[in-house]
Structure 1
Amino acid sequence: MITHPRDPALRLLETTDVHVPEAAKVVAWARDYLVNAHPDLGRKGPVCPYAQGSLSRRAFYLHVVPEPVTRLDEITGVAEKYRDWFLELAPRAEPDALFTTILLLFPEVRDLALIDRAQAALRPSFVSRGLMVGEFHDGPPPKGGLWNPEWRPLRSPVPLLGLRHMVPSDRPFLAHDPALLEVHEALFGGARC
């Protein structure tokens, strides 16, 4: 476990902290699902191209919110704190920063639409900082896959938000919003892959 240097209330579990059942479940999901190919994905390679690098570099972190969550601001408040720590923990200029991942687990969320709404509300503030935030749960999330819109790749065993650095291949995820696309183009010069 690592603790924020200035705020001891902010803590991140590492993949070796499997004593927390929800974290253990998500680490197993990452190792069994994210790092492997899937026949419905619509492209070659693993479901998440960066998950194995994150796991191998011990840069795959989790935070579990054990309390019941019923309001949007409860989720966004947690995500904003960990977004800011993420930027300190993995500055983009660091060699392996692109492999850093923080997963915020909300096992006591009953209204899964809150996870989807939180992701939509948080997205502009994350993208403006060069980060992506993704929503995952067993709903399944309403979004189809980029290469196969009929498939729902964002299914996970615990409701969660995933935080990571934006990469050039994220362009299609931002193309619907000119302001978000502008941030991508400023970072990557219009790179599309």
Structure 2
Amino acid sequence: MSGDLTTEARDWLTAYAPAPHPDLGRSGVVCPYMVKALRRDYVHMVEFDAAEGDEALMALARELLGELRERAEGVGSDRIYLVNMVVPYGLPADELKAMVGRVHAALKPEWVEAGYMLGDFWPEHETIGLHNDDFRPFTSPLPLLGMRHIVPADLFFFVKHERVPADRLWCLRVFRNIFEGQLNDYWTEQLEAAEADVLHELRELESAAA
């Protein structure tokens, strides 16, 4: 691979994530954390030959997670700005998209439990935004697999995007364990409200099934 796709991915990320967007649904930039990540050169992009298959991509992702943890030890509180992005190539675009989707689904629970977010990006991504259902935050010009440290604001991703109540409850409990003793009053209240909502939803489902 010539590196052209990696350049395209970095150019997109640099133009998109640390900038406002008319469909975002709130003021500010798409991803506030990416401003410092890019400014301090904390974004690490790695190419991957998709012809090697899903297992090879999962192995690379785990290797990069280990590398991310090592990098985190040397930057202290800046660890939340460390980002790894995998740029797969070598297959038709629809196959690359499917591969990223499969690997993301397979590894996501492992990443969350480890205290990291795993993101899937591709053209015309269907996932809606947190503040505007017409916004598609994970749409990128080419399929990508990204990873970074979990931050308190990720609570809203779990609340809105985990549509299966049992999965949402699991994510919230892991989130609570990760941030035990670290959340301020605002995030504590948000977490407690989210837990109460999902427990209520689960009780209603149990009653309907009885």
Q: TM-score, normalised by structure 1?
A: 0.81
Residues 1:74 and 2:59 aligned together: no
Over 4 Å off, 4+ runs: none
Counterparts of 1:109-128 in structure 2 under 5 Å? 109-110=91-92, 111=95, 112-128=97-113
Secondary structure at 2:103 match in 1: helix
What are the Cα deviations for residues 29-61 of structure 1, in whole angstroms up to 9, with x where unaligned? 122111101011111111111111101111111
Aligned to 1:96: 78
Contact 1:92 1:165 in 2 (8 A): no
Contact 1:104 1:162 in 2 (8 A): yes
Contact 1:69 1:75 in 2 (8 A): no
2:56 & 2:133 partners in 1: Cα distance?
Answer: 30
- Please report how far the alpha carbon of residue 86 of structure 1 lies from its aligned counterpart in structure 2 after TM superposition: 0.9
Please say which of residues 78-87 and 159-168 is displaced more in the overlay: 78-87
Residue identity over aligned pairs, in percent, reads: 29
Which amino acid is 2:56 matched to?
Answer: E
Structure 1 pair 117–92 and aligned structure 2 pair: CA distance change class (3 A): farther
Identify, as 1 or 2, the structure richer in helix: 2
Aligned to 2:173: 182
Contact 1:70 1:109 in 2 (8 A): no
Residues 1:49 and 2:32 aligned together: yes
Structural RMSD (CA): 2.1
Aligned to 2:118: 133
Structure 1 pair 185–51 and aligned structure 2 pair: CA distance change class (3 A): same
Consecutive unaligned residues in structure 1, runs of 5 or more: 1-18
Aligned to 1:7: none
Consecutive unaligned residues in structure 2, runs of 5 or more: 163-167, 192-210
Secondary structure at 1:126 match in 2: helix
Aligned length: 173
Structure 1 pair 127–37 and aligned structure 2 pair: CA distance change class (3 A): same
Which amino acid is 1:101 matched to?
Answer: V
Q: TM-score, normalised by structure 2?
A: 0.75
- Please report how far the alpha carbon of residue 109 of structure 1 lies from its aligned counterpart in structure 2 after TM superposition: 4.2
User: Which of residues 90, 96, 99 is equivalent to 1:108?
Assistant: 90
Q: Tell me which structure has the larger Cα radius of gyration.
A: 2
Which amino acid is 1:49 matched to?
Answer: P
Contact 2:50 2:57 in 1 (8 A): no
Which amino acid is 2:100 matched to?
Answer: I
